[in-house]
Amino acid sequence: MADESLAPLAELLPAQTELNGPHLEGLAAGELRLQHCTQCGAYQYPPESFCFHCPSTDLEWKAVDGNGAVYSFIIVHQRYHPAFGDRLPYNVAVVELDEGPRMLSNVLDVEPDAVEIGMRVRARIETLGDEGAALFFERAAGA
Ligand SMILES: [Zn+2]
């Protein structure tokens, strides 16, 4: 998808590093990729050189389907950065993926007072101009 209203947020995209490269390349390819521990099976985000759950450094990257639920959220009424333009008010949500990791993002296309803790959401990857892609969420079908 290409929601042109999100394009100004491209300047906020993180710089690609050796550690986050596979995650960002996944988003650019339209996939949500997370680190997966081959020893204990845990998924994790943000990426690290070791598993957060066991001492293993044997991590691989796997695409996940991006389904989860809102764990917590706030509604932002103040413009803290010009890139947010006329998006106010908007939500900032912590989404707990079904695989376990919690992702900080926005739930798009819902009224601010419609976001609820526990609301089922799914990943929605948006390209931001020519700069890359970012992970957002949207209400899951039937939620
Ligand atoms: Zn592990």
Q: Which segments of 46-116 are extended strands (E)?
A: 59-64, 67-76, 90-97, 102-105, 107-108
Q: Note the pLDDT tens digit of each residue in 94-142.
A: 999 999 999 999 999 999 889 999 999 999 999 987 778 999 999 998 7
By three-state DSSP, how is residue 36 classified? strand
54 is in which domain, residue-wise? 16-64
Looking at the structure, tell me whether residues 36 and 76 fall in a common domain.
no
> DSSP code of 47?
-
Cα of 55 vs centre of ligand 1, distance in Å, is: 6
* Backbone Cα Rg of the chain: 15
Chosen domain end from 64, 83, 103: 64
Q: Do residues 36 and 43 lie in contact, with contact meaning Cβ atoms separated by under 8 Å? A: yes
Looking at the structure, tell me whether residues 138 and 98 fall in a common domain.
yes
Cα of 138 vs centre of ligand 1, distance in Å, is: 29
Band the pLDDT of 6: cuts 50, 70, 90.
confident
- Nearest one of 20, 25, 52 to 36, comparing CA atoms: 52
The fraction of the chain above a pLDDT of 90, given in percent, is 77
Residues, beta carbon < 5 Å, ion ligand 1: 37, 39-40, 42, 51, 53-54, 56
Instruction: Specify if 93 maps to a domain.
Output: yes
Instruction: Specify if 8 maps to a domain.
Output: no
Cα of 59 vs centre of ligand 1, distance in Å, is: 8
Instruction: Specify if 121 maps to a domain.
Output: yes
pLDDT value at position 108?
95
Chosen domain end from 64, 81, 102: 64
